[in-house]
């Protein structure tokens, strides 16, 4: 009874601190559409009642948040599977960075961006559960809750229930956005940039990269960034970046883009027009090293909460018209169509290198019955 009461009180506190925003309200109202679709398209044992419910970080109790960060630390303590290809990989956590580095040119600005990251986050969640005894599921980061002052939010305040604190103050020139016009070609620095010294990841070692750093760092001994280059975790928790991740920004991405091409394009950012997009905004809210490195960004544990939110936004967009949007992909098979390639299709294959086999993109489109029935989750 005491445990139930503690959890219930914690949920009440979270609800009072963070009342549902317009995106939360849209998601809740749209669950009837999921129920109607499932009635017409049953997915075996996957129902709304049996589906995993991924939750926002602060909707977890303190104990649940600590269980999650302990599981991440556990993954960092287990030996890597990719060390033969990547000598710098020292842990199972590093394995996921290696895969991201190897596949970045294929899985960004392309057909594979959303489905591949869905597979990627789900597989990481399974590793936490199956290899490190984590009982919960992958939480997400609702950017709007903290976007006005992310450095002092419970997500990044450095407390035991956070995802670690900001970095120490350091001098650097901010984040350059290639191809963007002035003044949108540079995100001004905030109050961090140095080593993280508080919270669960204060003693974390970053092993891989950098490849595309935003800070002055020792170069990796290998050109591909996969050599051993140990250093501290650095962050610059930046409200300038977070400013483009409000609930209104997210709601507009979902409701004003009626096809997959524009939904993904606006989400990823339109840099020549000076529009960073919610994807870049979330990444550069963390910034630093490796979080601000396009290739090695999964090396900051906050990456996983950010990309789970990206998946949530896609999920909410999909469930507005499931019959159409579960079958709709866009873009070509290469990043920003370089080099030029054909448009991607549901028949294309997408995988996680040595971590997980290739599957057809169609298997990654639905959170309810996708991946041959292994996907069965929704978002609360």
Looking at residue 275, which CATH number applies to its domain?
1.10.1280.10
Q: What percent of the chain has pLDDT over 70?
A: 96
Residue 13: the pLDDT is 55
Residue 4: the pLDDT is 43
Q: Please state the domain count of the chain.
A: 1
Per residue in 107-116, pLDDT tens? 999 999 999 9
**What's the whole-number mean pLDDT along residues 275-279?**
95
In three-state form (DSSP H/G/I as H, E/B as E, the rest C), the secondary structure along the chain is CHHHHHHHHHHHHHHHHCCCCHHHHHHHHHHHHHHHHHHHCCECCECCCCCEEECEHHHCCHHHHHHHHHHHHHHHHCCCCCCCCCCCCCCHHHHHHHHHHHHHHHHCCCCCHHHHHHHHHHHHHHHHHHHHCCCCCCCECCHHHHCCCHHHCCCCCCCCCCCCCCEEECCCCCEECCCCCCCCCEECCCCCEEEECCCCCCCCEECCCCCCCCCCCCCCCCCCCCCCCCEECECCCCHHHHCCCCHHHHHHHHHCCCCHHHHHHHHHCEHHHCECHHHHHHHHHHCCECCCCCCCHHHCCHHHHHHHHHHHHHHHHHCCCHHHHCCCCCCECCHHHCCCCCECCCCCEECCCCCCCCEEHHHHCCCECCCCCCCEEEEC
Find the domain containing 374 and state its range: 25-379
Residue 297: the pLDDT is 98
**What's the whole-number mean pLDDT along residues 177-205?**
92
Per residue in 337-364, pLDDT tens? 999 999 999 999 999 999 999 999 999 9
Query: Residue 226: is its pLDDT beyond 90?
Result: yes
In a domain, 336, yes or no: yes
Per residue in 73-107, pLDDT tens? 999 999 999 999 999 999 999 999 999 999 999 99
Residue 322: the pLDDT is 98
**What's the whole-number mean pLDDT along residues 222-231?**
98
Query: Residue 233: is its pLDDT beyond 50?
Result: yes
In a domain, 302, yes or no: yes
Residue 179: the pLDDT is 83
In a domain, 4, yes or no: no
In a domain, 10, yes or no: no
Residue 161: the pLDDT is 98
Residue 183: the pLDDT is 87
Query: Residue 3: is its pLDDT beyond 90?
Result: no
In a domain, 11, yes or no: no
Query: Residue 11: is its pLDDT beyond 70?
Result: no
Residue 14: the pLDDT is 58
Kindly indicate the confidence band of residue 1, based on its pLDDT and cuts at 50, 70 and 90. Answer: very low
Residue 2: the pLDDT is 44
In a domain, 334, yes or no: yes
Q: What percent of the chain has pLDDT over 90?
A: 91
When the pLDDT of each residue in the chain is averaged and rounded to a whole number, the result is 95
In a domain, 16, yes or no: no
Residue 81: the pLDDT is 98
Query: Residue 55: is its pLDDT beyond 90?
Result: yes
Residue 59: the pLDDT is 97
């Amino acid at each position: 009874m005491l445990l139930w009461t503690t959890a219930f009180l914690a949920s009440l506190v979270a609800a009072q601190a963070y009342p549902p925003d317009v995106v939360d309200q849209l998601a809740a109202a749209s669950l009837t559409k999921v129920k109607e679709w499932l009635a017409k398209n049953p997915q075996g044992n996957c129902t709304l009642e049996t589906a995993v419910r991924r939750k926002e970080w602060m909707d977890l109790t303190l104990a649940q948040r600590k269980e999650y960060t302990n599981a991440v630390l556990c993954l960092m303590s287990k030996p890597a599977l990719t060390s033969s290809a990547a000598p710098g990989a020292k842990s199972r956590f590093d394995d996921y960075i290696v895969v991201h580095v190897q596949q970045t040119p294929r899985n960004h600005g392309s057909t594979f961006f959303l489905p591949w990251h869905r597979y990627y986050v789900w597989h990481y969640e399974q590793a936490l559960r199956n290899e490190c005894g984590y009982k919960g599921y992958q939480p997400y980061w609702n950017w709007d809750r903290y976007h006005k002052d992310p450095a002092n939010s419970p997500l990044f305040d450095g407390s035991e229930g956070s995802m670690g604190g900001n970095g120490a103050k350091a001098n650097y020139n901010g984040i350059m956005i290639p191809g963007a016009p002035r003044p949108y070609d540079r995100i001004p620095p905030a109050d961090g940039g140095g080593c993280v010294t508080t919270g669960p990841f204060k003693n974390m070692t970053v092993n891989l990269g950098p490849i595309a750093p935003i800070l002055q760092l020792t170069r990796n001994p290998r050109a591909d960034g996969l050599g051993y280059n140990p250093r501290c975790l650095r962050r610059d928790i930046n409200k300038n970046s977070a400013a483009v991740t409000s609930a209104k920004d997210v709601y507009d991405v979902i409701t004003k883009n009626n096809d997959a091409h524009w939904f993904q394009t606006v989400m990823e950012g339109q840099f020549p027009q000076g529009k960073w997009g919610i994807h870049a905004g979330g990444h550069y809210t963390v910034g630093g090293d490796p979080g601000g490195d396009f290739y090695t960004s999964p090396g900051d544990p906050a990456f996983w909460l950010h990309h789970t939110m990206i998946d949530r936004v896609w999920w909410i967009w999909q469930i507005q018209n499931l019959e159409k949007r579960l079958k709709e992909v866009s873009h070509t098979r290469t990043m920003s169509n370089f080099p030029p390639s054909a448009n991607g299709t549901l028949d294309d294959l997408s995988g996680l290198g040595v971590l997980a086999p290739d599957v057809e993109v169609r298997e990654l489109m639905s959170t309810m019955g996708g991946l041959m029935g292994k996907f069965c989750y929704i978002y609360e």
